Structure 1
Amino acid sequence: MKTLAGVDLLKTPAVIKTLAFLFISITFFYFGKRWSESDGYQQLIFFSPSASSDATGQRRPPSVALSPNLGMSFNLSSLINPGSDEYGQPPSAPTLDSSPPAVPVTAPPPPPPPPPPPPSQITRFGIIDENGTMSENFEVGNFDPNFVDDWKNNGSEIQADGGKEGGDGSRITIKRYQLCPETMREYIPCVDNVEAIKKLNSTEKGEKFERHCPEKDKGLNCLIAAPKGYRQPIPWPRSRDEVWFNNVPHTRLAEDKGGQNWIYKDKDKFKFPGGGTQFIHGADQYLTQISQMVSDITFGRHIRVVLDIGCGVASFGAYLLSQNVITMSIAPKDVHENQIQFALERGVPAMVAAFATRRLLYPSQAFDLIHCSRCRINWTRDDGILLLEVNRMLRAGGYFAWAAQPVYKHELVLEEQWEEMLNLTTRLCWELVKKEGYIAIWRKPMNNTCYLSRGADANPPLCEPNDDPDIVWYTDLKACITRLPKNGYGANVTDWPARLYNPPDRLQTIQMDAVISRNELFRAESKYWNEIISGYIRAWHWKKIKLRNVLDMKASFGSFAAALIEHQMDCWVLNVVPVSGPNTLPVIYDRGLLGVMHDWYFYYLPMISFFFLVSCPTFLLSAIPTAKVLLSSMIELHNMHQV
């Protein structure tokens, strides 16, 4: 039995593998030894200790193979410089020498190559102008090397010479800006300019609610801090229904309008049920009623851009956003405190603005629908000059919705107001499309046919042919009917969202340098911003930071805002067109976007500390040429920016 067990042990896989390995090793060792003793191996080496056989079969003693160049002398200098020897003679032919070979002398190594020359210093300086080219047309004053350290360390007053060489230019003073007093938390320079308002001859037409910007040397020179207890805003869409109380600490509006389902306070939040003075049952039901009254009012398609006058807390515009309608909500800064702050904190487009004596900062034919619900405006005063301003901004074929007591109440005074409104709208060639409950809706004509069919003494008259309805910067209201373009521009915009991507007809009427390449410029700008925004989203993860209120300081055709929409960024953009450049506001509104005219030499009118993102492409170089204006504008940007 033991013998059988030993045999079984030899049959185990480990033993078999070991025996196979030993057998293979011995085999290779045997063949290797035989190969090393063969003649074939001798041919692979120059020297071998073993004796070889000659032709007769006799073995010869070991030998050393000699080089065929043995006994030849060479001129090493000629090898280094093959053209000539050290005396300038051509190299001589090698000669045989029977003497023993000399020990070769190693030539000294060649000298190292010289170090490379230092790179040339850049001597050209310049700035990138508004055309994207390098410009040397600028001035640099004397530079103090201690400027930055002094500023950082103690923030004391620093003086620097500017201007031309020799220090003969203007001398400016720079200080570290302090925080504004707590009482200025809602200060708007162009609205709260008490000194300018006191100088007004009259305020009966609402002049005190218009913009009265301070002089350039009397502007705001402090930074507005966030309210005490300020918190990160609630993100959209939750912010439509609730905001933090400490971010907009106003209680009077909630107390006055609580019974109208506008707003109420719940612990540390304000909540918005969605109601209004004329739609206490909610904005959704109110919007449904309007769209059912007029079948052509298709929100999100034919109706894209809306103006809400006297917006309150902007619930009308807030609920339209869910239907792909963007609404500019406007209201004055009046006894109800700053209602616009509630709108912006909710993430709804809004501005401080008032119908008084000047044109609003929007172009002609801007809005597809204009809405007024108990907006407390006397539309028939001064021959209807305020309603004529509405007519200027209303797109051809657009709608005006009026929800007010004269529409549905039968009191004598209110009935007289309704008759005056009917008379005025008839003279404006507006068609009363529908009157239902407390809402009346009119439609503006598509062309000038009705206007021209009136008598020569018709009132209000047509504006002069040379009157530009798109000039809005500090332009007084005019008691005349704005003419519609004969070519139909502005009236024939496509439905949303196609209008966002197609070059509008009014692009051809903009006063700009380009003549025949405008459509190409439009498409190129759109492509450029699409690529830029795509990079921002990938690199900076913009979709994760939840941008909502965005300001484009130099909007051009509005392609920055269009790119955000195309990349499905859940935000809205206020496109600013500086007065110093081409007025592209008609193009922006024809694309279905919001915009406003502004002069960056002055302070911004409508909002404070409610923007999450401020975009300023080429702004600092082309729109603000002086340092003092730059500092003033940057302070205002800080005060508008969301904390």
Structure 2
Amino acid sequence: GPPSMPRRRCAEGTPARSALLTFKLMLPLLVLGGVAQARATVVGAGLVLDFTYTPYCDDVDELPAFRADEGYAALFEVIAPYRSLCRVPVPEGYTKRPAWPSCLFTLPKANIPKAQVWESESIKADQSWLKVEPESVVLPRDGGSMSARKFLEMLPEEVDLSAVRTVLDEGAGVCGLGAELMMRSPRSQVVLSYAPHDTHTNQVQLCLERGVPAIIFSMARYQFPVPPASFDMVTCKWCWHWIGASSVGSWFLEVDRVLREGGYFVMYASVWHSYNFRDQVETWSAHLGWRRIKGTAKDMAIWKKPDVVAMNTGSFLPCPQWEQEQPSFRRFHVPCRHMGPSRAEPMSEHQDMVGLDRDYVQELLTLMPEAQSFTNVLDANSMLGTFGQAIRGALPNAWTLNVQHVKSQEYHHISPNASDGKLKGNYAAMSNYAKSVGRDGLPSVFAEGQVGIYHDWCYMFPAYPRSFDIVHVRHVEVAHSNCFHTAVLEMDRLLRPGGYIVLTGRGLSKKVNPTVAAQLGWVPAQGTEHVVSVAQVYRKMGGTFE
């Protein structure tokens, strides 16, 4: 980055006077929600962003507000709540990934600095998940204790994979299942995977670097941030160990909520016959009315959710309407069963917007000569998902993680502890609720065979740095004015060097001008003058992209 931006060195003596002054200036704003730096000013009715003095974070891979030694891991395998006041630096030697599908199995070592630690010190080090070579990281197609290819071969004929478009893979590790399915049918199936940030470290980063959709999450404790009936299949391959005996019921209710009527739930684990796990699972599946599919292999169990869900009033209470709103990342499970309609149909205006976005995307891609090699796209406010649909038609191997922008009903505060400087807060209180900013288009996104999540841009996004080739920002209206800094820093963190950010419409896009872009190390895309009336398009520099 620009040399004027100092690197934060919290562990090395006394901070520089300028850094200390910056902290004092922004302390009142930090308590109100994590503003990026203190040099924002109000001109007229608008907020002017300035990242000139924003320091760099200590670690190229760490989540800026997540430290295992600060106690977050006890409750937040999901994501730490607030954004630290720093930019994530680019690893030395960061470079372009191989083209699809080679990127699924071989990655530049410089792009994943912690892979060596993951290979040598993780409890999975002896399971051949990955191999670190001098210049690359290799992820064998048949690696791990149960390869994805073998797992799929074990499915009985009754499981009709041709009818499966969206899959949720729980506790996905390095996303072998997502890689296998999307390599077989990149345009017809998409797998959204998740794994916690725990002792297995940065598994989700490996997933995204491979080109597979994934987020940091733990569904054992929290509701998954998607609409009901979103997935055709939910898989749990070796995910039992983080569920816990006391969480089986709430976890099963959440699987039931996100699985569409007629969808499949597939579980594989050698503990299927032990720890009283099987009894609990079969009890809950029976109460939910799921049908067990016969003829499965040893250690595998498959259920089909009925096409019409009947409420067993002796077992569950239906969720009230207010309990069926969009979940957020810190919303805990609720002891009720969702009884809403099945998967929604695309909204009536969807087709009109598809045509408009198809032309819009084609024009944008003329500014991105490398776009044919891109795989990971983030739409920060997807509305009906038509931008992602246009991307899927234009780029052969790309998928879009669609974000339905929401506003949390409760805006929780944290404050520094004066004695040790660490951020403290009432984390147990963060079971907040969320409401869509504008019309909720995420049901339409899943109806079209895409994936997405609900997210409030005042919070950190549940992914590691350098996750996306394109970040599309259209009409993003943040809930609080001091969240503009947080949102811009998050999008910079999520964007890969060599990738592009597109800013258009009202809200956040109006706050980023060429001066702000230059402070962040973004340069105008070549030929931008031809579409300046439509959008601002910048390319992020860093690593070998200079």
Per the normalisation by structure 1, the TM-score is 0.61
Matches within 5 A, 1:39-438: 160=41, 162-163=43-44, 174=50, 176-182=52-58, 184-189=59-64, 191-192=66-67, 197=72, 203=74, 207-214=75-82, 219-249=83-113, 250-255=115-120, 256=122, 257-275=124-142, 277-279=144-146, 282-290=147-155, 293-298=156-161, 301-324=162-185, 325-375=189-239, 376-378=241-243, 380-382=245-247, 384-407=249-272, 409=273, 413-414=274-275, 416-434=276-294, 435-438=296-299
Task: Give unpaired runs (5+ residues) of structure 2.
Answer: 1-36, 407-436, 498-546
Post-superposition shift, 1:436? 1.3
Post-superposition shift, 1:430? 1.2
Contact 2:77/2:196 (8 A) holds in 1:
yes
Matches within 5 A, 1:484-503: 484-485=340-341, 489-490=342-343
* Alignment match, 1:616: 473
Higher relative contact order (CA 8 A, sep 6+): 2
- 1:438, 1:348 → 2: CA distance? 26
- 1:431, 1:441 → 2: CA distance? 8
Q: What SS does the aligned partner of 1:642 have?
A: strand
- 2:333, 2:87 → 1: CA distance? 35
- 1:394, 1:523 → 2: CA distance? 26
Q: How has the CA–CA distance of structure 1 residues 252 and 160 changed in structure 2, closer, same or farther, with 3 Å as cutoff?
A: closer
- 2:259, 2:461 → 1: CA distance? 25
Q: How has the CA–CA distance of structure 1 residues 589 and 337 changed in structure 2, closer, same or farther, with 3 Å as cutoff?
A: same
Post-superposition shift, 1:194? 6.8
Contact 2:194/2:204 (8 A) holds in 1:
yes
Contact 1:177/1:223 (8 A) holds in 2:
no
Post-superposition shift, 1:160? 5.0
Q: What SS does the aligned partner of 1:472 have?
A: coil
Contact 1:277/1:374 (8 A) holds in 2:
no
- 2:145, 2:38 → 1: CA distance? 56
Q: Which has the larger radius of gyration?
A: 1
Root mean square deviation of aligned Cα: 2.8
Post-superposition shift, 1:356? 4.0
Post-superposition shift, 1:179? 4.3
* Alignment match, 2:358: 530
Letter in 1 for 2:483: V
Which of 434, 441, 446 aligns to 1:589? It is 446
Contact 2:402/2:451 (8 A) holds in 1:
yes
Greater fraction of residues in strand: 2
Q: What SS does the aligned partner of 1:436 have?
A: coil
* Alignment match, 2:427: none
Post-superposition shift, 1:587? 1.2
Q: What SS does the aligned partner of 2:471 have?
A: strand
- 1:327, 1:595 → 2: CA distance? 11
* Alignment match, 1:497: none
Q: What SS does the aligned partner of 2:229 have?
A: coil
Post-superposition shift, 1:431? 1.1
Post-superposition shift, 1:208? 2.7
Which of 626, 630, 633 aligns to 2:484? It is 630
Q: Deviations over 1:249-296 (max 9, x none)?
A: 2223323435323111222111111235441xx322321222xx1434
Q: How has the CA–CA distance of structure 1 residues 475 and 158 changed in structure 2, closer, same or farther, with 3 Å as cutoff?
A: closer
Contact 1:379/1:387 (8 A) holds in 2:
no
Q: Deviations over 1:570-607 (max 9, x none)?
A: 21111011112222211111111010111122332223
Q: What is the number of residues matched between the two proteins?
A: 422
Q: How has the CA–CA distance of structure 1 residues 542 and 592 changed in structure 2, closer, same or farther, with 3 Å as cutoff?
A: farther
- 1:572, 1:529 → 2: CA distance? 15
Q: Percent sequence identity over matched residues?
A: 23
* Alignment match, 2:540: none
Q: Deviations over 1:301-323 (max 9, x none)?
A: 31011111111111110011023
Q: How has the CA–CA distance of structure 1 residues 382 and 636 changed in structure 2, closer, same or farther, with 3 Å as cutoff?
A: closer
- 1:157, 1:210 → 2: CA distance? 28
Q: Deviations over 1:127-161 (max 9, x none)?
A: xxxxxxxxxxxxxxxxxxxxxxxxxxxxx996856
